[in-house]
Amino acid sequence: MKTFKIGGVHPSENKLSATSPIRRAGLPKQAVFSLYQHIGAPAKPVVAKGDEVKVGMMLAEADGFVSVPVHSSVSGKVSKIDAIVDASGYRRPAIFVDVEGDEWVETIDRTPDLVTLAQRPELTAEDIVNKVKAAGIVGMGGATFPCHVKLTPPKGTKAECVIINAVECEPYLTADHRLMLEKPDEILVGVDLIMKAVGVDKGYIGIENNKPDAIALLTEKAKAYSHIEIVPLQVKYPQGGEKQLIAAVTGREVPAPPALPINVGAVVQNVGTVFAIYEAVMKNKPLFERVITVTGKEVQNPSNLLARIGTPMNQLIEECGGLPENTGKVIGGGPMMGKALMNLDVPVCKGSSGLLLMSERESRRAEPQPCIRCAKCVSACPMGLEPYLLATASALRNWELAEENDITSCIECGSCQFTCPSTRPMLDNIRMGKTTVMALIRARNAK
């Protein structure tokens, strides 16, 4: 069975919500829409205080090519345009909507009927990309890169295959797993749409073998799609990283930045993104809701919720039994790459894949000890880097040394910190160093 060759670790899976069917979360009383739900320029408001909106109506338009619009997930009245502290911990501009009912725009097809590409032969590649762009779709695995940009390869590059990331290697998270079990037909049509958009005739769906039910179901369904192959993969973190997944599925290695997956002929999309593309193109539905896992060892009812964008996280926690008394930390995402939330009023965004509640004991960091030169972090790094060196260079603010040792290649997976017997905060230092070095490179290139 396939996997990537360099590094990797095996955290405890803790897939507590894997058998919990997706259920619809309740509507919030007030929905809050950050204008920074994607990588690139923030969206630009097209509504004002007092405006009436419906579900699916545009609230903010894309402000550049690497940008996407934001749509309302509720009906009601715009109460204000202000700022919030989002999941990143930064204050961001946002649109606040007081909810009144649940009235959708009439153009959205709300029927459960499957629509295949064969039923829509008039769709061109350009049509698909334009619909994806208009729907505000981003990478829903957490990266939030505008999807239409990926579907428009740069000049001089050519896509050879589409790879769907259905790995969900982050511990605890099960949203993608449940989506595959409950929406397999829509996902396969979504893959068809992506392949037509980028002009390739081969697609792969990579799934780790801790999801045998999803592998079996999609393998059976894919018999009707000779150009789509289901690829079972060994369980190894961080196989959901683009470069690791490409290496596992095709054996090709993506070079260091600024090289991209397209440089080795691959276009990679998360399975949740694939479903959103299906809904956008075939159902005229913008991206205003998503499946999010709410979980933790002390959570009363670990669940996979279909939540409207803009819903406060504390509401989702209440729907899963409430906040346990011994909660020490609430993480947006999974335990490896997620970030602790500043408060529980943070709204669900397009990249919100999970909400992990950790007890005080689980979330308490051990006191860092001196490095014992064991090199476990080097063995674990899936990018073949030297994390101990990058972390030290960053801590000492030696940006030249950090750049020379390819800090920009770090994918921030946390494998180094996970495996360190001295519990050193390597990922924290490397993240800080990588951000600084990338800013220095941009400033240098701008001269």
Annotated binding site for [4Fe-4S] cluster: 371, 374, 377, 381, 410, 413, 416, 420
C-beta atoms surrounding 65 within 10 Å: 12
Compute the chain's Rg from CA coordinates. 21
Q: What is the dihedral of CA 317, 320, 322, 324, to 10 degrees?
A: -100
What are the tokens at 158? 């050519």
The residue assigned the tokens 């990926």 is: 150
Distance of CA 45 to the CA centre of its chain: 24
330 close to 356: Cβ distance less than 8 angstroms: yes
List, as one string, the DSSP characters of 326-345: TEEEEEES-TTT-EE-S-TT
Helices (H) and strands (E) in the chain, counts: 14, 17
150 close to 282: Cβ distance less than 8 angstroms: no
**Residue 322: what are its φ and ψ, rounded to 5°?**
95, 170
The total number of residues written for the chain in this structure: 447
- How does DSSP classify residue 26? P
Q: Binding-site residues, please?
A: 371, 374, 377, 381, 410, 413, 416, 420
Question: Quick check: helix, strand or coil at residue 274?
Answer: helix
- Give the separation between CA 405 and CA 314, rounded to whole angstroms: 42
Angle between helices 426-446 and 387-395 (to 10 degrees): 70
310 close to 348: Cβ distance less than 8 angstroms: yes
Sheet containing 303-308, strands listed edge to edge, beginning at the edge strand earlier in sequence: 22-24, 303-308, 289-295, 354-359, 327-332, 339-340
- Give the separation between CA 381 and CA 368, rounded to whole angstroms: 20
The residue assigned the tokens 């995402």 is: 333
The set of residues, in sequence order, having a beta carbon less than 8 Å from that of 443 and lying 6+ positions away, is none
Single-letter amino acid code for the residue at 432: M
Half-sphere exposure of 227 toward its Cβ, with a 13 Å CA cutoff? 16
